[in-house]
Amino acid sequence: MPELTYREAVRDALSQAMRQDDGVFLMGEDIAEMGGSMGVTQGMLEEFGKERVRNTPISEMALAGAAIGASMQGMRPVAEIMYEDFLTLAAEQVVNQAAKIRYMSGGQLTVPVVFRTQGGAGWSPGAQHAQQLEAWFVHIPGLKVVFASTPEDVRGLLWSAIYDDNPVVFFEHRTLYPIKGNVPQEIEPIPIGRARVHREGEDVTVIATGRLVHESLKAAEEAERDGISVEVVDPRTLQPLDEESLVSSVKKTNRAVVAHEAVTRMGFGAEVAAVLQYQAFDWLDAPIERVGAKFSPLPFAPVMEAFVVPHAEDVLTAIKRTVGKA
C-alpha cells in the first residue's frame, strides 16, 4: 500500500484518468505552469500538454459553462474552481444548467462534468477565500456532491466522479492537502453514495465531513479516555446521501453529533439532523448536536478565525453534552 498525500492522491486520480481516456481533460485558472494555486496539478502540464491541462482566463462562468458544453459533446472535463467562494460566480451554470440539462432534455443528454474546488479556513485569508458552501449544492437535484477527507477517499471518489455521467461538485479541503495516508496500489473506485465508518463505537455517533473528520477522530480519542465510546462516520458523498449507514449507526449508539466546518445555520448538518430525527426518532436518547462555524463571515485576525470555525474541542464538548457529561 503506497502512501500518498491528499494532494498527490487527487493528482493521481486525475493523471490516471487522463492516461486511460482521451476525453478527460482539465480546465482552470493557473493549473498549467503553476500547477494550480494548491499545487494539485503540478507536473501535469509536462505530461499531458497545454491542450489537456488548460489554463483559463479569470472567467468562472465561461469556464464552468464551457466544461458543461464539452461534456455535452462527450468529453469528461474536470473544471477547477480555484476557491469555493468563486463557485458563487459559476452558480448559474452549475445550478441552472449542469444540474438540469439532462432533465430538461427528457434524458437526451448527459453532462459528465466534474467541478473540483477547495476551501476552508485555518490560514486567515479573510472572508472571501475560505467559505464552505457544500450545502448549497446538496439542495439542487441533478447534482452529485462529494466531500472527501482522506487520500484514499479523495482518489477513489474523484475517479468515480470523473466517470460518473452526472455533474459532480467535488469539494476538497485546503488544510488536508498535506496529510498522508495509504492508498491501494491500483485505484479502486469508491462508489458515490456510500459512507465510511472511520471508527466504531457504542455511545455516540459523530457524523463529520472534510476537515472535521480528523477533528472528530481526535475528539473521539479524547472521549475514549473519559470512557465514552465514539463512532465516527464520514458520509463522503453528501448527495446522494447514504442515509442508511448514518441511521443504522445512530440506531446503535442512540446519540448523534454532526460536525462540519461550514456555518451551522442551514449547513449540511441541518439536513443530517432532519433525516436522523425522522428515521431514528424512537432510538434517539438525546437531541442531535450540531457542530459548525459560528454565525459570522470569516474574520481575518487568527484569534477570531480560530474562534469561528470548529475544532476537536468543539466536537468533544458536543459529544459530552449528548451523553450528559457536559
Partner 1 sequence: MATAEHKATLAKSELGDVLREMLLIRRFEEKVEERFRAGELPGFLHVAIGQEASAVGVCRALEDGDVIASTHRAHGHTLAKGTHPNELMAELYGKQEGCSHGYGGSMHLYDVERGNMGANAVIGGGLPHVTGAALAFQMRGEPRVALAFFGDGATNIGTFHEALNLAQLWQVPAVFVLEDNKWAESTPESQHSPIRDLSDRAKAFGMKTLKADGQDVEAVYKTARQALDHARSGKGPVFVHLDCVRFHGHYIGDPQVYRDKDEARKLAETRDPIKLLREKLKLSISDEEFEELDTEVTEMVEASVEFAKSGTDPAPEDALKNVYA
Ligand X SMILES: Cc1ncc(C[n+]2csc(CCOP(=O)(O)OP(=O)(O)O)c2C)c(N)n1
* Active-site amino acid positions: 60, 129
- Cβ proximity to partner 1: between 127 and 284 the closer is 127
Q: C-beta of 89: minimal distance to ligand X in Å?
A: 6
- Applying the rule CB under 6 A, the residues between 10 and 49 that interact with ligand X are 29
C-alpha span between 6 and 235 (Å, rounded): 18
- Applying the rule CB under 6 A, the residues between 130 and 189 that interact with ligand X are none
Q: Exposed, middle or buried by CB within 10 Å (0-12, 13-18, 19+), for 315?
A: buried
- Cβ proximity to partner 1: between 105 and 182 the closer is 105
- Applying the rule CB under 8 A, the residues between 47 and 106 that interact with partner 1 are 51-52, 55-75, 77, 85-86, 89, 92-93, 96-97, 101-106
**Chain length of the chain:** 326
C-alpha span between 254 and 140 (Å, rounded): 30
Query: Of residues 38, 61, 89, 270, which one binds ligand X by CB under 6 A?
Result: 89
Q: Which does 109 bind (CB under 5 to 8 A by kind): ligand X, partner 1, a second copy, none?
A: partner 1
Q: Which residues bind a second copy (CB under 8 A)?
A: 85-86, 88-89, 91-92, 95-96, 99-100, 103-104, 126-128, 133, 135-136, 138-142, 239, 262-263, 265-271, 273-274, 277-279, 281, 284, 286-290, 295-297, 299-300
- Applying the rule CB under 8 A, the residues between 111 and 130 that interact with partner 1 are 112, 123-129
* 62 forms part of the interface with ligand X (CB under 6 A): no
* 305 forms part of the interface with partner 1 (CB under 8 A): yes
C-alpha span between 91 and 65 (Å, rounded): 10
C-alpha span between 184 and 230 (Å, rounded): 27
- Tell me the β-bridge partners of 182: 3
For residues 265 to 304, the per-residue mask of contacts with partner 1, x marking binding by CB under 8 A and - elsewhere, is: -----------------------------xxxx-xxxxxx
- Applying the rule CB under 8 A, the residues between 209 and 228 that interact with partner 1 are none
Q: Which does 165 bind (CB under 5 to 8 A by kind): ligand X, partner 1, a second copy, none?
A: partner 1
- Cβ proximity to a second copy: between 185 and 281 the closer is 281
- Tell me the β-bridge partners of 25: 77
Amino acid in position 261? E
Q: Indicate the angle between helix axes 268-279 and 243-253, nearest 10 degrees.
A: 60
What DSSP assignment string belongs to 104-156? HTTTS-----EEEEEE--SS---TTS----HHHHHTSTT-EEEE--SHHHHHH
For CA atoms 232, 214, 259, 84, the dihedral sign is negative
Q: C-beta of 59: minimal distance to ligand X in Å?
A: 9
* 20 forms part of the interface with partner 1 (CB under 8 A): no
How many other C-beta atoms lie within 10 A of the C-beta of residue 74?
A: 9
Amino acid in position 10? V
Catalog residues that contact ligand X under the rule CB under 6 A.
29, 58, 60, 82, 86, 89
